[in-house]
Structure 1
Amino acid sequence: MPNLLGGCLCGALRYEIRSPPLRVTLCHCRFCQRTTGSSHLVEPLFDRADLHVTAGVPTVYRHRSEGSGRHLDLHFCPVCGTTLFMTFERFPGLCGVYAGTLDDPAAIEVRPDNAKQVFVASARPEAVLLPGLATFAGPAMDAAGVPHAPRVHDAPQIVGRRGCEPLPGDDAQPR
């Protein structure tokens, strides 16, 4: 995979990533909804050492996670305010990139072997959950790092107002 390039809206802050993502998280929590202004965040995770800021200096905003109680550091452009990536107190060697800031967001593949969906209990009612991905109502692990059991859907699911519902015309049941 060639290096991934990305940057902010105004171009003052640019970065390069020199490895493929370790995994991809589709996060539906309220924090990610607020920071993206969208229904969820597509967050490829990388070794922090593989992300290099090539132009500009990001400003950092520290936020305490409601889920883990640990800090997240949001790295954003001081000129236009675009949030580019975050680093984690809980996972010090990793960084999560806001996929929409990549020059080619489609370079990040979301597959059952590399991705999960988290905090779907907070998902917007019209959100569609992808089939084959490990899916969690909240975080994928508890505060002590113990993994939760995922749910995996055989077909796309629409969250709906009453929880996950199959898309119209689809009789598949979640496993």
Structure 2
Amino acid sequence: MKLDGSCHCGAVHFSLNSAHLYPFNYCFCSICRKTQGGGGFAINLGGEAASLKIEGAENISIYQAKLDGNAGLSPAKRHFCKTCGSALWVYDPRWPELIHPFASAIDSDLPAAPERTFLMIGSKKAWVPVDAGPEDKVFAEYPDESIADWHRRLGCES
């Protein structure tokens, strides 16, 4: 399915193809919390890097997060609108065929996930509630299941 996305101010518009369009992965790591919102979480989708089309690329800024300790910078490149600060997508050269758009930047209608995954709960702040239902999975760190594996397991590939 083709996904269309944009930033809040309209300076950046993008599209890409995705077979993994259920927003299910709620991340509470410090990077997502601080770049996506106060208590928040980020939800990444999976998309085909070769299909990415961008209008307003000159308005994009890239942030590479500092890793804990002396581990340096994350190889993942978080793309933001440099005008309004909207988080757009993550690209990680370890998986060059993928782009991970933030569901919050997608303008296309996305389906509701039949179950959710709450990850990096060990990093969330005490005041942040986790609204996990009986079918949802909760992990202190990262689960072993990839975005593609989750979609495959639940028969949610488009």
Query: Where do 1:20-169 residues align within 5 Å?
Result: 20-21=19-20, 24-38=24-38, 39-57=40-58, 58-66=60-68, 70-104=74-108, 106-112=109-115, 116-124=117-125, 125-141=128-144
Aligned-residue CA RMSD (Å): 2.6
Q: Which runs of 4+ in 1 moved over 6 A?
A: none
**Which digits, 9 at most, give the CA deviation of each residue in 1:52-88, with x for residues without a partner?**
2133332212224449x54221111122222211112
Q: CA deviation at 1:108?
A: 4.3
Q: TM-score, normalised by structure 2?
A: 0.71
Partner-residue secondary structure (3-state), 2:118: strand
Instruction: Please give the alpha-carbon distance, in whole angstroms, between the structure 1 residues aligned to 2:105 and 2:27.
Output: 16
Q: CA deviation at 1:7?
A: 0.5
Structure of higher RCO (CA pairs closer than 8 Å, 6+ residues apart): 2
Q: TM-score, normalised by structure 1?
A: 0.65
Structure with the higher strand share, 1 or 2: 1
Instruction: Please give the alpha-carbon distance, in whole angstroms, between the structure 1 residues aligned to 2:62 and 2:119.
Output: 24
**Which digits, 9 at most, give the CA deviation of each residue in 1:27-71, with x for residues without a partner?**
11111111111421121122222332133332212224449x542
Unmatched runs of 5 consecutive residues or more in structure 2: 145-158
Contact 1:16 1:52 in 2 (8 A): yes
What's the counterpart of residue 10 of structure 1?
Answer: 9
